[in-house]
Amino acid sequence: MTDFSPVSACQVAIIGGGPAGCACALALAQAGVTDVIIIEASDYSHFRIGESIPPDILRLLQALNIDQAFLHENHIPHYGTRSYWGDDRPGYNDTVMNPFGNGWHLDRCRFDKFLAEQADARGISVWTNTQFIASKPDHQGYELLLRDNKSKNKVTHQLHADFVVDATGGRSCFARQQGSRQQHQLPLVVTAVRFEMQEQTPEQSGLTHIEATTHGWWYGAHLPDNYFLLAFYSDAETVKTLGLKQPENWMSLLASAPNSAHLLAAKNRNPVAVMGFSAPSYCLDQVAGERWLAIGDAASCWDPIASQGIIKAMANGISAARLIVGAQSLQQFEFGLQQTHQQYLAMRAQFYQMEQRWPESSFWKAHHGS
């Protein structure tokens, strides 16, 4: 991968080098289109939230011919979910009968970097530390104004692209500059702590943990490299009112979630600082236009309770590549994205309706009304 390049034109520019953007690039390479540049603002070194993938991801990895390389990355297998949702007793949703086997808990930075390296190995240019600033249409596509994050200059390069793919995640940078708007549906805020193991344990739980509480729900997962992640999902007002950016308040709230607190207490761990992230839910009112389209979280973002964000993003990327090479129409692409988003909304409503223990909670009232 390269940090920057003097190249001034390409057939396809993909803004964003996460799962959606890289899957699109890999699918284009399979179709013989390698005049592609991935524009990635980071260098894949900073922590990224979103670490669980279901077994079905293997189908997409196989389609991109990177499944064996992924398996050699040695992410942590997970075999299902243990949840305290709608009941004080645990419920289990395991992967025993799934034809693809187990899912995985990822080192997310390493996973995203792996996808970019696979694209690079197939002839795709990957520009890391490169930020998209603005764009303007030209006679055959778009002129993109970019900045090298290592430079103090506001604009350091101009790149012509015949076609632009917006894979910038929740920012939807390019699409919003084209006039698209995010139609929000009950966004969440997550406050999370990574706990480093004091000692290596002989066995690790292969289950994702979920526990519903008065003000939202807790999520727990073992991560590679000796970490355990605990995250609390709620709304912005609750996070602000309870002061959950402060470690002492966060730990106090955790103490009121008996199963999550016990899960942490049962492990010998040291806390790390509280991190805050947005967890929006929306769909763009316009996901494509003249010589551009949006994919992944740039096009539609899903509540983490669905646990489908990464697999949805990669499927979007593959579908976008089919559109670009003419294997499907724009109408088919837009219909497929809208249809899956409507299915997600129905699934999310069903999940939240299953929890009826706190009918007076503002959080649960809002989600029951959705």
199 pLDDT exceeds 60? no
CA distance 289 to 167: 15
CB 287 within 8 A of CB 187: no
pLDDT in tens, 40-65: 999 999 888 878 899 999 999 999 99
Minimal CA–CA distance to 178: which of 162, 169, 165? 165
- Per the confidence metrics, is the pTM higher than 0.75? yes
> Which tokens hold the place of 235?
């709304």
In this prediction, residues 14-33 reach a mean pLDDT of: 98
In this prediction, residues 57-75 reach a mean pLDDT of: 96
CA distance 119 to 115: 6
Minimal CA–CA distance to 235: which of 191, 193, 169? 191
CB 36 within 8 A of CB 87: no
**Distant-in-sequence, close-in-space partners of 61: CB < 8 Å, separation ≥ 6:** 67, 70
4 pLDDT exceeds 60? no
In DSSP terms, 139 is beta-bridged to none
CA distance 363 to 355: 11
pLDDT in tens, 302-346: 999 998 999 999 999 999 999 999 989 999 999 999 999 999 999
CA distance 144 to 158: 6
CA distance 63 to 80: 24
> What pLDDT score does 269 carry?
59
> What pLDDT score does 155 carry?
73
Work out the pLDDT band at 202, boundaries 50, 70, 90. Answer: very low
